[in-house]
Amino acid sequence: KHLSKRFTLQAGLFSKNAPSVKAVDDVSFHIMQGETLSLVGESGCGKSTTGRLIARLLEPSAGSLHFEGADISAVAGNDLRRLRRDVQMVFQDPYSSLNPRQTVGAILEAPFEIQGVEPPGGKRKAVLDLMERVGLKPEHVSRFPREFSGGQRQRIGIARALALRPKLIICDEPVSALDVSVQAQIVNLLQDLQRDFGLSYLFIAHDLSVVRHISHRVAVMYLGRIVEIGSAATVYARPAHPYTAALLSSVPIPDPDRRSSGTRTVLKGEIPSPINPPTGCHFHTRCPRAQDRCRSEAPALHKQGENHQVACHFPLGAN
Ligand code: SF4
Ligand code: MG
């Protein structure tokens, strides 16, 4: 609720006015049990920072976090360790997140050791069960991360996240570094695991096409703010924010629903620096619908329809 994260930049070491970046700016959302909420936007929009705040790998500058009704914003020590069983993370680059000097067996035993959990049947059996669950072979247990392909390494990362039977997994671009042919396999695996274990996902991606088949709801971020959030069916078929429409225009998949809306926006230019974001609506420097009001007044999220909110003064499809 109302999460913000400000980073102070190094350049200000000897000056009173260290420049800072508001990486996450008053972001609120919820995720239901068994649900996938996708968080989408270009790099630098604050989506990974949001994920790390929720995983309690970073401290928020403002706002609060709640899990199953409990305020987890300030949990520490044993309570934080306990929370790590319920909330896990899968990272973009499975190679740098896996210790190259550990075998798969050791990597997958670590969560049990860190948490002091002895699984029924012992750790070795639990590890082999996990490996089978993510599509690895028993003989892989004594191999090292470098002996695997990118897709297999991500399976190891997923198995590690799954070890303690978490309830929420934050997937930070888990397929962005993989070949397109492998991406679908990993997304399918995550979907199977969600169905079997009732998992909730926060699925972070820079591309709406990747999350199309896994999302129940979608939130689009731009320069630290959520600009649109709603059910996947609605956001894909009737995007209301010009930025979402632009992201969808660059998706190379024919979509009869979208064609019928008659909207096509081409996104120009680079995302502006978050150190000095544009006034008013942050998107006005790239928005084909921008008017004077957009430069002075930041639009708040407001209801656009059932289960659909948009932060835009002149949303699409609202005549
Ligand atoms: Fe574009 Fe204005 Fe809407 Fe921002 S508020 S997205 S600039 S139309
Ligand atoms: Mg990122």
Per-residue pLDDT of 28-55, as tens digits, reads 999 999 999 999 999 889 999 999 999 9
Closest atom of ligand 1 to CA, residue 313: 5
Ligand 1 pocket member 245 (CB < 6 A)? no
Q: Helix, strand, or coil here: 315? A: coil
Give the ligand 1 atom nearest the CA of 242. 6
- 1 neighbors 64 (Cβ within 8 angstroms): yes
Which atom of ligand 1 approaches the CA of 291 most closely? 2
Cα 62 to middle of ligand 1, angstroms: 26
Give the ligand 1 atom nearest the CA of 287: 1
Res 252 pLDDT > 90: no
Percentage, residues of the chain above pLDDT 70: 92
pLDDT of 319 > 60? The answer is no
Is the CB of 41 within 6 Å of ligand 1? no
In the chain, where are the structural domains located? Answer: 31-215, 239-319
Closest C-alpha to ligand 1, atom 5: 312
The protein residues having their C-beta less than 5 angstroms from ligand 2 (an ion) are 48
Tell me how far the alpha carbon of residue 42 lies from the centroid of ligand 2, in angstroms: 9
Q: Could you report the per-residue pLDDT of 106-127, keeping only the tens digit for each?
A: 999 999 999 999 999 999 999 9
Report which protein residue has its CA nearest ligand 1's atom 7.
284
pLDDT tier at 200, thresholds 50, 70, 90: very high
**Ligand 1 mutation target, pool 220, 283, 309, most atoms within 8 A of CB:** 283
Q: What is the DSSP string of 258-269?
A: HHHHT------S
Q: Where are any strands of DSSP class E within 65-148? A: 66-67, 70-71, 87-90
The torsion of the CA quartet 222, 223, 224, 229, rounded to 10 degrees, works out to -10
What is the Å distance from ligand 1's center to 204 Cα? Answer: 24
Record the pTM: 0.92
Decide if the complex's ipTM is over 0.95: yes
Q: Tell me how far apart the alpha carbons of residues 137 and 165 are, in angstroms, rounded to a whole number.
A: 21
pLDDT at 56: 95
Predicted confidence at residue 14, as pLDDT, reads: 59
The superfamily CATH assigns to domain 31-215 is P-loop containing nucleotide triphosphate hydrolases (3.40.50.300)
Neighbouring residues of 141: CB distance < 8 A, sequence distance ≥ 6: 103, 104, 105, 127, 128, 131
Centre of ligand 2 from the C-alpha of residue 173, in Å: 7
CA 26 vs. chain centroid, Å, equals: 16
- DSSP per-residue letters across 152-186: HHHHHHHHHHHTT--SEEEEESTTTTS-HHHHHHH
Measured CA to CA, the distance from residue 319 to residue 314 in angstroms comes to 9
User: Is the Cβ–Cβ distance between 135 and 83 less than 8 Å?
Assistant: no
Q: Does residue 225 have its Cβ closer than 6 Å to ligand 1?
A: no
Q: Is the CB of 289 under 6 A from ligand 1?
A: yes
| Residue length of the chain | 319
Q: Is the pLDDT of residue 97 over 50?
A: yes
